[in-house]
Amino acid sequence: MKIPFSPPFVDQDVINEVVDTLESGWITTGPKVKALEEEVCKLTHAPRALAVNSWTSGAILILKWFGVKEGDEVIVPAYTYSATALAVLHCGATPVMVDVKDDFTIDPEKVKAAITSKTKVIMPVDIAGLPCDYDAVNDIVNDPSIKNLFTATSENQEKLGRILVLSDAAHSVGALYKDKQTGVWADITIFSFHAVKNITTSEGGAICINLPKPFDNDAEYATMRLWTLNGQTKDAFTKSQGGGSSWKYDIVFQGLKVNMPDVCAAIGLAQIRKYTSQLMEERKRVAERYHSFFSQKNWAQLPIIKDSDRTSCYHLYALRMNDITEEQRDKMMEHIADKGVSVNVHFIPMPMLTLFKDLGYNIENYPVAYNNYSREISLPIYPQLTDADVDYICNVIEEAYQKVI
Ligand SMILES: *Cc1c(COP(=O)(O)O)cnc(C)c1O
């Protein structure tokens, strides 16, 4: 038996939507991107959504839009995919890493302690599809003494008057916090549509814009859209529509070039239409089947897929083994691989990676992140897995544990 970790979901609807794009005569940013953005708003109830070519480029765009630059600090969890901190480095600013809680999400107490007058943004992460504690993070940025400390150095910082909450929701499209979708809990929420994520456009992402007054989310959408297109006032699709002066455009500021092509949007469009009714339900089936097996094992710590405030969108099934070392976990993974099951670890904490070690980050300062990492194995979870596949995986994991311990 060979079980891949996270193959993309490609059915006839996805193929038809892509072929329709190819045959339409328009393959880059145009009607499919617009339709995908509308579907994201329909799903999340975010006021506006802007498609981009990756989560990473979306995060860089937002940090630049907010005027984050050298000398500024952005608070991120130590336990995340490196893109969270890399986006900050790309703007010349400093990622300030804080430890996480046992549930993998950022620890609000640690966030509070890390705030200085240089803090411009907090980037919590909805790890595995489980939302972070949004109320706690929002309370921090709205706390009068913390607002007082905030020193605006750009027009948008002036306008917001406090630290921006930029949610790394790369994993959490469709997840719920207090019965509302991710996308409406932070000022800005960014989903990833990378190939392994719950909804994919092969590469891509969506920025949900949910800024408070006096921001006008429609106007900010228009500005951010220019940011995706080199600061050019007319996109290629508008120019292609013809008319006497349709060729004329202006470059109004130094933007990026990070727009999503229609041919990619088509993949995600076919998926998002059946996401909550079908694709997420299938993920839930897999998660619950794992739960019923591993809840019988006293050596297993189950990931949270639902608690009083939060419902996961089942992006990862992050199983942990109690009382196990990193070396034993690695040995388990070898055995699992030998049995044809692809598993992963989410994540190697950033302070353990060369770039961040060289910058002076030290894993010893993040004991919970290390503990989570050392005991974790992410199991395959996606709609195409049959119940028999899941049972096979469960037995392989059990066998690997018994063999190593
Ligand atoms: C996948 C991922 C990203 C990066 O997404 P891209 O679309 O590949 O740029 C960022 N953060 C987390 C937590 C991720 O898992």
Is residue 4 in some structural domain? no
Model confidence, pTM:
0.98
CA of 183 to the centre of ligand 1 (A): 16
**121 and 39 both lie in a single domain:** yes
pLDDT of residue 246: 84
Instruction: Using the 3D structure, point to which of 272, 301, 330 is the last residue of a domain.
Output: 272
**Same domain (yes/no): 393, 306:** yes
Three-class SS state of 259: coil
Number of domains forming the structure of the chain: 2
Q: What is the DSSP letter of 232?
A: B
Domain match, 49 and 19 both: yes
Residue nearest to atom 5 of ligand 1 (CA): 55
Our mutation pick for probing the ligand 1 site, out of 63, 125, 168, 191, counting the most ligand atoms within 8 A of Cβ, is 168
Active site residue 197: yes
Burial of 228 (0-12, 13-18, 19+ CB in 10 A): buried
In the chain (405 residues long), the average pLDDT of successive 10-residue segments reads: 96 98 97 98 98 98 98 98 98 98 98 98 98 98 98 98 98 98 98 98 98 98 97 89 86 97 98 98 98 98 98 98 98 98 98 98 98 98 98 98 96
Ligand 1 neighbours (beta carbon < 6 A): 54-56, 80-81, 83-84, 125, 168, 170-171, 192, 194, 205
Closest CA to 14 of 198, 274, 206: 274
Q: Which of 294, 222, 229, 225 is nearest to 256 (CA)?
A: 229
- Could you give the angle at the alpha carbon of 94 between the alpha carbons of 93 and 100, nearest 5°? 135
Write down the residue that tokens 């150095």 correspond to. 153
Distance (angstroms) between ligand 1 centre and the Cα of 103 equals 19
Ligand 1 closest atom vs CA 127: 13
DSSP class per residue in 154-189: SHHHHHH-S-EEEEE-TT-TT-EETTEETTSSSSEE
**Residue 300: both structure tokens together:** 């297993």
Range of the domain at 197: 12-272
The DSSP line for 271-294 is HHTTIIIIIHHHHHHHHHHHHHHH
* Residue tagged active-site, from 32, 101, 197, 284: 197
Looking at the structure, do residues 84 and 209 belong to the same domain, yes or no? yes
Looking at the domain assignment, is residue 28 inside a domain? Answer: yes
CATH number at residue 94: 3.40.640.10
Q: Do both 185 and 253 map to the same domain?
A: yes
> What spacing in Å lies between the alpha carbon of 281 and ligand 1's midpoint?
23
User: What's the 151 CA to ligand 1 centre distance in angstroms?
Assistant: 29
Residues 94 and 84 sit within 8 Å (Cβ to Cβ)? no
Give pLDDT, residue 244: 81
Q: What is the CATH number of the domain that holds 380?
A: 3.90.1150.10
